[in-house]
Amino acid sequence: MSEPPDQSTVALIGLQGTGKSTYVVAFFLACESSADGMCITNYCGNGNREYLNKLAQRLADCEALERTRQTEPGELRLKVILADGAEEQQLLIPDLSGELLRDGMATRHLDEQLDQLVASANGTILFMRSDRIVAAETLADFNTALERAGQPAEGATAPERPEDWELAVAPTQVRLVDAVQELLRRRGPAPLRLALVLSAWDTQSKAGLTPLQWAQGHLALLTQLLDGQENVQWSVFGVSAQGGDFCDAEQRDRLKEVDVSVRATVAQADGSAGGVGAPVRWALGLTP
Amino acid sequence: MSATLTCSQPDCPAPAGGVCALGHANPVDCPQATVPSADAPEPAAAVPTATAEPGPPGDDELLPPAPTPGVLLHPGVALSVAQANVLASDAGVRVVLPVGSVGTGKTTLAVGLYERFLARSWGGASYLWSETLLDFEMLAFPGRLASGAGIPSTWRTRLRDSAGHLLHLRVSCESSPRLDLVFANLPGELSDHIRDGEAPASEIPLLASADRLVMCVDGAKIASPGHHGLAVSHTRQFLRTLKQGSGVPPTCAVSLVLTKFDLVSDTPGGVERWEAARAALEPELAGLGRPGIVVCTAARAKTSGFAPDGMDVLLQWLTSPDGLADPALPDPRVAGPRAADRFTGQTP
């Protein structure tokens, strides 16, 4: 199906379980309830909202959303106004499974649908879970901690042959750098606006860091890569699309007392509050 | 396979069975090429399909990947000379050639330089890109807690067995907004052959392309009272054979780098033995390319916090345009891209 020429497409990319679907639903609910200066002006045909409404019901019930299957991708397709005073535009946000990216990076053979999306999108949002990061923990640091505890650093070296190594054991930031490098390679010199979303941001509140400080500390290789690309503009957002942890009974009870359309919170790069639509608006160049 | 290959590069003859326009020996390795899934090559051995990360609660079922046509991605593994030539003809590169016996720590030096960017910009440089990101990661893995080992080490087996021996790291630094460093990751046996009298140019053809020669001296041997003399002797023999072979370009800067300095420092008499070794070896560098630096490094110490580890000095030397003693001569990188004979030495 050919897309209308005035349509804006936002690519959501990230590994599986990084909060893409939850964000899309929170964004839809905010548009639907005319929150955050956004409103829907046209539903753009029939049928495409069943997926969104099903997931919205689960979110309202404080049930974590199942991640999108490769066989049942959803999408958000609406005519919307994304900010007070902004023009109406047709918006398409496909919600493809994170497994497509995971498997594509591991086999070095990217799904064609995902490839076309990242190559043609007007804006890109890269998701990662701030509470499930795999860090590059070194043996040297571990041995230092052992010695401080009065234990000698000893043990076997790793096996001689690297057959056991696989991309899945690489640090999160390396996997993201790998994905972004391939994204940039596919797009060539075309300008890219990339919003980095740190999902489950509510879990990081005790650290007292802004999203930018957090990213520079935990994803240093990625931030260096993005800073160094002439054709890339990027920003970072801390997003709690659920509004809290559904596995925590106390938080779940609190959230059930709040309307689902206003539960989500977004922190901008400097830590200031932004609306649910802030990453989409930024990715599309509607905000500086 | 090439009969079913398509390519987004205009006028590329590869789909018709010709040569890749971007110089890839195997056209399917080219990032511009697309191969229908039925013809897609098996995934590289070192990057098998990943296992699932933990998903949301109650969501453990995984479906197999859908067999859709797709696009080949860059493999991310060590480059062959032909692939590095494509890179060099595009932007120019600085070729770094670590040499030294087996187990000296040559690979660990290159991996250590990469790995420090995971924490921050350092040594006056920032990470920009790597065409060999996955091999850097694979090589770094034995030094990680996730490896299950107790003592940090470095893998090199796969690189030894494969066609590609070149690791790529693009950085920005004070002297250059984009500097492509290409590290030769060659087996130490080649250095041993030169030490034993083989012709340097035939053992290591990359010598002719080197911009920075890193003469590695094994700190573990220098630390050992019973081995340090032999380590000096072997290094001296290597340097003299190299000098006699006239294979080092006059523009190439040559440095003496002690590896595993943490072992030298921790061993009684180790530092004194290093000073003696240095006094014996430094004069041997004269007449070999251009004088570089002498630096003690600990790229991967057994425990963290060993300082100074010399790695920042090494990186600054590698990235500085005046890593050469005579600034009057043009630096290869600053002189701009070279023709496609960057590594082969052949006239285009």
Decide: A88 and A76 in contact? Cβ < 8 Å: no
- What tokens were used for B171? 């950085």
Task: Give the model's pLDDT for residue B39.
Answer: 32
Q: Do B70 and A111 touch (CB under 8 A)?
A: yes
Interface probe for B, chosen from A128, A224, A247 (most Cβ of B below 10 Å), is A224
Question: CB–CB of B178/B86 below 8 Å?
Answer: no
The answer to whether the CB of A108 falls within 8 A of the CB of B75 is yes
Which of B56, B117, B129 lies closest to A65 in CB terms?
B56
At A123 the pLDDT is 97
Give the CA dihedral B91, B134, A199, A273, nearest 10 degrees: -30
Q: What's residue B50's pLDDT?
A: 31
By CA distance, what is A103's nearest residue in B?
B49
Per-residue pLDDT, B5: 55
User: Which chain A residues have a beta carbon less than 8 Å from that of B174?
Assistant: none
Instruction: Single out the residue of A215, A226, A219 nearest to residue A268, CA to CA.
Output: A215
Contact A157 B149 (CB under 8 A): yes
Beta bridge partners of A80: A40, A89
Question: What's the pLDDT tens digit per position in A216-244?
Answer: 999 999 999 999 999 999 999 999 999 99
Q: How far A120 CA sits from the closest chain B CA (Å)?
A: 15
The contacts of residue A239 (CB under 8 Å, 6+ apart) are A19, A23, A197, A198, A199, A201, A264, A265, A266, A267, A279
Q: How close B283 gets to chain A, by Cα (Å)?
A: 35
Q: Using DSSP bridges, classify how beta strands A273-274 and B6-7 pair: parallel, antiparallel or unpaired.
A: unpaired
Q: What pLDDT, in 10s, does the model give residues B79-103?
A: 999 899 888 887 779 999 999 999 9
Cα B256-B260-B265 angle, rounded to 5 deg? 100
User: Which chain B residues are Cβ-neighbours of A107 within 8 angstroms?
Assistant: 43, 47, 49, 65
From A95's Cα to the closest Cα of chain B, the distance in A is 16
Number of H helices, E strands in chain A: 10, 10
pLDDT of residue B303: 75
pLDDT, averaged per 10 consecutive residues of chain A (288 residues), comes to: 76 93 95 94 77 92 78 83 92 92 93 93 97 87 77 66 79 97 95 97 94 98 98 98 94 94 96 97 95
pLDDT in tens, A149-182: 787 766 666 655 666 688 989 999 999 999 999 9
In a structure prediction context, what are the per-residue pLDDT tens digits for chain B, which is 348 residues long?
A: 333 455 555 555 555 555 555 555 555 555 555 543 333 333 333 333 333 333 333 333 344 444 456 899 999 999 999 899 888 887 779 999 999 999 999 999 999 999 999 999 999 999 999 999 999 999 998 888 887 777 666 665 455 556 679 999 999 998 899 999 999 999 999 999 999 999 999 999 999 999 999 999 999 999 999 999 999 999 999 999 999 988 899 999 999 999 999 999 999 999 999 999 999 999 999 999 999 999 999 998 877 777 789 999 999 999 998 664 433 333 333 233 333 345 544 433
Q: Of all helices (H) and strands (E), which one includes residue A13?
A: strand A7-14
Could you report the predicted ipTM of this complex, rounded to two decimals?
0.92
Nearest-CB residue to A139 (from B46, B73, B143):
B143
Residue with tokens 């990661």: B137
* Minimal Cβ distance to A106: which of B50, B71, B301: B50
Q: Which of A17, A136, A147 has the CB atom closest to B118's CB atom?
A: A136
pLDDT computed for residue B336 by the predictor: 32
> b vs e for A245-270, b when ≥16 Cβ sit within 10 Å of the residue's Cβ?
bbeeeebbeebeeeebbebbbbbbbe
Question: Under an 8 A CB cutoff, do B303 and A153 touch?
Answer: yes
Which chain B residue lies closest to A132 (C-alpha atoms)?
A: B54
**Partner residue facing B51 (CB), from A140, A155, A168:** A168
Determine contact: B126 vs chain A, CB below 8 A. Answer: yes
The B residues from 3 to 62 touching A (CB cutoff 8 Å) are 31, 37, 40, 43-59, 62
- Which residue from B181, B316, B321, B331 is spatially nearest to B251, judged by alpha carbons? B331
The pLDDT of residue B348:
33
Q: Which two tokens stand for residue B261?
A: 């300095």
Cα gap A68→B6, rounded to integer Å: 31
Name the nearest CA neighbour of B258 among B239, B238, B237, B232: B232
Q: Which residues of chain A have a CB within 8 Å of the CB of B53?
A: 15-17, 102, 132, 168
Ordered strands of the A192-199 beta sheet: A39-42, A74-81, A88-95, A7-14, A123-129, A192-199, A232-240, A265-267, A273-274
In B, which residues are within 8 Å of A167 by CB distance? Answer: 47, 50, 134, 137
